[in-house]
Amino acid sequence: MKKLMLIFILIFLAIVAGCHSRSQTPKAEKGLEESNIEESNIVETDSPSEVTTGNKNLKLSVLMDIGDDNLSQTQIDQRQQLNSWMGKDLSRMLNNAGYQANLIENRSQYKSGTYLLKVTIVRYNAGSKAARIVVGFGAGAVSLDTRYELFAPSGNLILSDEHGVGSSIEWTSCARKLNKQTLKVVSDKLKR
């Protein structure tokens, strides 16, 4: 019986040790809770002529950026997958909110006369799905921090901020939370 218990403990420890994330990206500071958007951190640099209010079908180009250049190939692949999903989801959410959102791949595809929303991944920790399943209690949590910048059709920066979230579910829930936060702040700024 003792040998069986010892074997069980060794297998459990091997699973936990194997689930440990090797990423050097720090976890979200607030653990599993969604961080709040603090109005004091939002940079707004606009004049009244820069913000269009009540205009139906406001055109908005969405540019997603994977961020840091000093990444391993695995991290680049993860961020590209995240960027692809997050960009499509954000564009869909913006279209559902009444904007004419268009996802662009690079700045050269930007058409003047439209707003530009640039979203950059600042930090991303994919966590460990195995640790989330086996250990639970927040082990292996995913964390994601992004920076968004909204440019007016004239090219002037009118809104900029960073925010981040963590989740013990999976990476898509972090991306969705951040997309909702970004949509809310952009809609508040553009009075929609």
Distance CA 30, CA 39 (A): 18
38 vs 180 pLDDT, higher one = 180
> Region 137-144: what's the mean pLDDT?
73
Chain-centroid distance of CA 173 in Å reads 10
Report how far residue 118's alpha carbon sits from residue 139's, in angstroms, rounded to the nearest whole number: 32
What CA–CA distance (Å, rounded) separates 164 from 160?
Answer: 14
Closest CA to 178 of 189, 191, 188, 164: 164
Q: Which ranges in the chain belong to alpha helices (H)? A: 2-19, 73-96, 129-134, 171-189
Is the model more confident about 95 or about 2?
A: 95
Question: What are the structure tokens assigned to 169, written together?
Answer: 């579910």
Taking the C-alpha atoms of residue 64 and residue 86, their distance in angstroms, rounded to an integer, is 8
| CATH fold of the domain at 27-34+55-189 | Rossmann fold (3.40.50)
Residues in the chain: 192
Q: Check whether 184 has a pLDDT greater than 90.
A: yes
CB burial class (10 A; 0-12, 13-18, 19+) of residue 11? exposed
Residue 44 pLDDT grade (very low, low, confident, very high; cuts 50, 70, 90): very low
Strand partners, 32: none
124: enclosing H helix or E strand: strand 115-125
Overall average pLDDT of the 31-58 stretch: 44
